[in-house]
Amino acid sequence: MNAGGGAGPSRTFRVALAISTCCYVLAVACGMYAVSGGLPAFLQVCLWGVHGVVLALLLRRLGPTETALGAALLAVAASAAAGYVAGLAREDLTLRQRGEQVAVTVVAERLDPAEGRKGRHSHYTLERAEDGSTIPGEMETTSDLYDVGRRLTVLVDPEGEIHPRTPGQADPAAELAGAAGLMLVAVAGVGWVAWRGRRRVGGGASPPGAAGTAEHPRGGGAGGPAA
């Protein structure tokens, strides 16, 4: 009889737990993204901490403790970063949905104050080319792209909550791709723990016949010469 037959969970259980843990990681990331706009930063940090503890406990069922803790930390950090990057795309998506394309003229420009090596963003005051009325809010760019008098087409938020941006600036593709890549890293961490745990379980069993070899060494059979 194999004494170690019940030492670990079955392969089916491990696969189901790994898939469930990946789904849990994705669900928490989506949930935190949905509620992050209305929660204070301290509460968000607490929720991420609780998520990390729960995730570490789940991963501990899949692999070694050290690997599980490292993967849990990686998954939480990657998920939080993905939520931040996706949040950058939130305004772009909103502006594309409800924004109005307006022809404008740049009438003023200002630069951020110099702060060491930090880049200085440019801020532009815009007027409608049609009637000369001022567009609410300034358009911001990471470098000096436009001169006073330049005519542009921008997306303007009718509700005035989002600053105007050019259609190119309001493209969320890069942010969404970055968020997806970070979530892939988080899920890959779960897969890594499951793979390490599978190797440990598979490599811990003694090969068949090893015990018999130890009990009957070569040259010491029952028919050997008596002392």
Residues 153, 137: Cα–Cα separation, whole Å: 15
User: Using 50, 70 and 90 to split pLDDT, how confident is the model at 2?
Assistant: very low
pLDDT digits (tens, 9 = 90+) for 13-24: 888 999 999 999
Q: Which domain holds residue 128?
A: 100-156
Q: Does residue 220 fall inside a structural domain?
A: no
* 17-40 burial: b if 16+ Cβ within 10 Å, else e: bbeebbebbeebbeebbeebeeee
Residues 227, 214: Cα–Cα separation, whole Å: 22
- What percentage of residues in the chain have a pLDDT greater than 90? 48
pLDDT digits (tens, 9 = 90+) for 87-112: 888 888 889 999 999 999 999 999 98
With tokens 């949040």, the residue in question is 87
Q: Does residue 27 fall inside a structural domain?
A: yes
Same domain, 78 and 184: yes
Structure tokens belonging to residue 148: 């006073």
Structure tokens belonging to residue 122: 């440019």
* 142-177 burial: b if 16+ Cβ within 10 Å, else e: eeeebeeeeebebbbbeeeebbbbbeebbebeebbe
Q: Does residue 164 fall inside a structural domain?
A: no
Between 118 and 8, the higher pLDDT residue:
118
Same domain, 91 and 183: yes
Same domain, 111 and 72: no
Helix (H, G, I), strand (E, B) or coil at 25: helix
Q: Does residue 177 fall inside a structural domain?
A: yes
Same domain, 107 and 146: yes
Same domain, 77 and 108: no
Give me the number of domains the chain comprises: 2
Residue-averaged pLDDT of the chain? 83
Same domain, 90 and 115: no
Same domain, 48 and 104: no
Q: Does residue 6 fall inside a structural domain?
A: no
Q: What was the pLDDT predicted at 89? A: 87
Q: Does residue 165 fall inside a structural domain?
A: no
Q: Does residue 161 fall inside a structural domain?
A: no
- What percentage of residues in the chain have a pLDDT greater than 70? 83
Q: CB-based contacts of 224: which residues, under 8 Å, 6+ apart? A: none
Q: What was the pLDDT predicted at 147? A: 92
Q: Which of 36-40, 145-149, 150-154 has the lowest mean pLDDT?
A: 36-40
Q: Does residue 206 fall inside a structural domain?
A: no
Q: What was the pLDDT predicted at 8? A: 55
For 50-54, the CB contacts below 8 A with 24+ separation are 51/76, 51/79, 52/76, 54/24
Q: 223 forms bridges with which residues in the sheet?
A: none
> What is the pLDDT averaged over residues 216-225?
49
Q: What was the pLDDT predicted at 3? A: 44
Same domain, 152 and 189: no
pLDDT digits (tens, 9 = 90+) for 25-38: 999 999 998 887 77
pLDDT over threshold 70, residue 118 = yes
Q: What was the pLDDT predicted at 200? A: 65
Same domain, 91 and 177: yes
Same domain, 86 and 147: no
User: Using 50, 70 and 90 to split pLDDT, how confident is the model at 11?
Assistant: confident
Same domain, 53 and 141: no
Q: What was the pLDDT predicted at 41? A: 86
Same domain, 120 and 179: no
